[in-house]
Structure 1
């Protein structure tokens, strides 16, 4: 069918990150189905390749498949496959854009849930922006654990109220971050 447009790759990556960050299996499946639909519109499919502790989204043409298996004899040009790293640090060149997004998330948490949750969201935003150069909603379960158990207690200087609210604050921040994808004009 042709090449996969950059916007479709970006959307597939966004949906994959949301699926990986979701805690509910039905939500994960909904994101995966939406990703499949986006890619199918262009004759592509996706899989996740695990490389040690890293994960990579691989989008490749459907014509390479036979009963769900990639047939190497059908691959004429490997450059048609697109790969996006899903774990580990993001692109440091995108830091300003990532930090601005994460700042908007903090503001939304403050507006909807108050100062304590906003302070926790601010710490999480700083962690994701500065340590991973990625948006809050892309945080994996391991990265959320690293934040709670290492960064938050050592670097955020949380008040007792913040410490008691952190388990509630993180889902609020993730929900606020995901809501930007459903807002028009965001």
Structure 2
């Protein structure tokens, strides 16, 4: 029995996010195929589970499945399954760590791109940490749209300069954090 290495789990999550954000269906399928081929090397498979709080990537041994359905009698050790949240709230218990990492992004954006972009990055850090308990790098397109269209106008009172460069600031912050802003 081989457990799934952490780096493989992280890559499966990254490829799944890329597939979800892809504009072109062929590109999305290529990411899913790459993920599935990588997991197959460890005799694992993946699926997306939708629950009340969002989507979850579930990676588990292929021998748990029969005809596309997980058979409980085949689950020998539930710890061999791996779940990664793809949408919805993050881990509120890790808020301090998440906030510290998001603040480091703010500092890096400010140092590299100036105070206006830094102020917008700080608004994004506040939003992602307080509303979703998530890293800036894990922001979904829907969360970024909520930030831009709802949160900033209603809660942030940005300066005119901040409003002018908001889209670029979002891109800079997400990229600085190691994430990817999907093309619209």
- The reply to whether residue 89 of structure 1 matches residue 94 of structure 2 is no
What whole-Å deviation, never above 9, does each CA across 1:7-37 have from its counterpart, x for those lacking one? 54355445544554x4655876676566446
Ranked by relative contact order (alpha carbons within 8 Å, sequence separation 6 or more), the top structure is: 1
TM-score normalised by the chain length of structure 1: 0.76
What whole-Å deviation, never above 9, does each CA across 1:103-122 have from its counterpart, x for those lacking one? 12112222332221111111
What whole-Å deviation, never above 9, does each CA across 1:46-89 have from its counterpart, x for those lacking one? 1212235610111111234568x346388233613222332221
Can you give the 5+ residue segments of structure 1 that lack an aligned partner in the other structure?
180-186
Can you give the 5+ residue segments of structure 2 that lack an aligned partner in the other structure?
180-184
Please provide the CA RMSD for this pair.
3.0
TM-score normalised by the chain length of structure 2: 0.77
Residue number in structure 2 paired with 1:51:
51
Q: 1:123 and 1:18, CA in 2 relative to 1: closer, same or farther beyond 3 A?
A: farther
Residue number in structure 2 paired with 1:182:
none
3-state SS, counterpart of residue 98 of structure 1:
helix
Distance in 2, matches of 1:133 and 1:111, equals 24
Residue number in structure 2 paired with 1:72:
71
Q: 1:63 and 1:154, CA in 2 relative to 1: closer, same or farther beyond 3 A?
A: same
Distance in 2, matches of 1:96 and 1:35, equals 31
Residue number in structure 2 paired with 1:136:
136
Q: 1:98 and 1:27, CA in 2 relative to 1: closer, same or farther beyond 3 A?
A: farther
Q: How many residues align?
A: 177
Distance in 2, matches of 1:81 and 1:172, equals 35
Distance in 2, matches of 1:124 and 1:52, equals 25
